Structure 1
Amino acid sequence: MDVPDYQWGVAVEIWKEIDALARENDVRVAIEMHPHNLVFSPVTLKRLVDEAGTTDIGAEMDPSHLMWQGMDKVASIKWLGPLVFHAAAKNATLCPGADIRGAPDTSFARVPAEAPGKVPTGYGFWCNAWPENPAWKFVAVGLGNDVPFWTEFLRALAEINPDMAVNIEHEDAAYSQTEDLALAAKNLHSAAAAL
């Protein structure tokens, strides 16, 4: 318990400063809850907000990171409520490798910048090399979770903020940037129409 206690002590002081800077500049900072980070779940995000006493720190709701941890994404949105500042439409699915690797799979490898055949992502960089039998992988919106899931995801966000933008985040290595975007947009439009 000493290691996480130390990490929380450091993080709380840093995020107090970031929150003050955000407030001073009239912006809000949305943290992406990601495994392998101190803030990886709704509970840890709320802990940071509470312990640091922040007013301008909240969540960037990327459901893909909650998916491969086995969390209920809609329940997480409802539990966080107004602490959800921003949302991404990004999907993930568990793979057979989860049986021996576990959800917080750390067996990825770095890809050198000069390596040929890098896997492009939607933001102009490349993915780490995936293990041969990963525990999870990112997939296009609609492939890991179907349209009814995305309808409920959008419904939960709309209950918090009806004007919240939901950005499509592309990281499915099986699709080009435009293919993934088209598939995600189609599925999100279907989900929104079902509202």
Structure 2
Amino acid sequence: MHSRSPAVRSPWDGVYMDVLDYQWGVAVEFWKEIDALARENDVQVAIEMHPHNLVFSPVTLKRLVDEAGAANIGAEMDPSHLMWQGMDVIACIKWPGPLVFHAAVKDATLCPGADIRGVLDTSFTRVPADAPGKVPTGYGFWCNAWPENPAWKFVAVGIGNDIPYWTEFLRALAEIDPDMAVNIEHEDAACSQTEGLALAAKNLHAAAAAL
């Protein structure tokens, strides 16, 4: 399974560090319990590193694992969230190494809107409750509407990054576990579900063939 847990960004001011320390204290105790439950049931829990969560990078993932003394907590490697933060995805796989339990492929690209919005843009808007086709994110929660001129967006695999890039992505994962499953996560609004899945599969097969 994979999961996520919320946080403060850029604690350069002491008060924000206090908030962040509090969040870490709560999170570590919570994840100690989750890790104990996972060990008891022989389950690995893979956390998706996402920028609106406490664990949003390999460094913060390792901090959680270390401070919780966790043996069954690691990463679900969704590269798209690391891309729009400006991280080196290959380094983000190699640095935590065996802490990468699971992987998904989803591409992302920066857009012209980044020039005035920045990648921490909060210009999303709520979708009316009675609007058709709302996408659920959990019980009672829904995806918001993207800005007209976004700073970044998710795209089908191969649109944001080329096939050689994905070859190196697969190579880095295989160095950790040659049998690791790599799932396609499609969130490109410009493609239908089947179009996006077909394009991603085609490009991933080409990337794998180059290994």
Shorter-chain TM-score range: over 0.9
Matches of residues 1-195 of structure 1 in structure 2 within 5 Å? 1-116=17-132, 118=134, 127-195=143-211
Q: Does the CA contact (< 8 Å) of 1:64 and 1:138 recur in 2? A: yes
TM-score where L is the length of structure 2? 0.87
What residue identity is the alignment partner of 1:106?
T
Query: Structure 2: which 5+ residue stretches go unaligned?
Result: 1-16
C-alpha distance in 2, partners of 1:184/1:113? 32
CA shift in 2, pair 1:120/1:31, >3 Å: closer
The alignment covers a number of residue pairs equal to: 192
Q: Does the CA contact (< 8 Å) of 1:63 and 1:91 recur in 2? A: yes
C-alpha distance in 2, partners of 1:47/1:111? 36
1:133 is displaced (CA, Å) by: 1.1
C-alpha distance in 2, partners of 1:156/1:143? 20
Q: Does the CA contact (< 8 Å) of 1:90 and 1:168 recur in 2? A: yes
CA deviation string 1:141-171 (max 9, x = no partner): 0000010000000000000000000000010
Q: Does the CA contact (< 8 Å) of 1:36 and 1:104 recur in 2? A: no
1:107 is displaced (CA, Å) by: 1.8
Root mean square deviation, CA, Å: 1.7
CA deviation string 1:74-110 (max 9, x = no partner): 0110001000000001000001111222112222122
C-alpha distance in 2, partners of 1:76/1:97? 26
C-alpha distance in 1, partners of 2:29/2:132? 42
Secondary structure, in 3 states, of the residue corresponding to 1:46?
Answer: helix
C-alpha distance in 2, partners of 1:173/1:152? 26
What residue identity is the alignment partner of 2:124?
F
TM-score where L is the length of structure 1? 0.94
Secondary structure, in 3 states, of the residue corresponding to 2:160?
Answer: coil
Q: Does the CA contact (< 8 Å) of 1:86 and 1:166 recur in 2? A: yes
1:126 is displaced (CA, Å) by: 6.6
1:12 is displaced (CA, Å) by: 0.3
What residue identity is the alignment partner of 2:197?
L
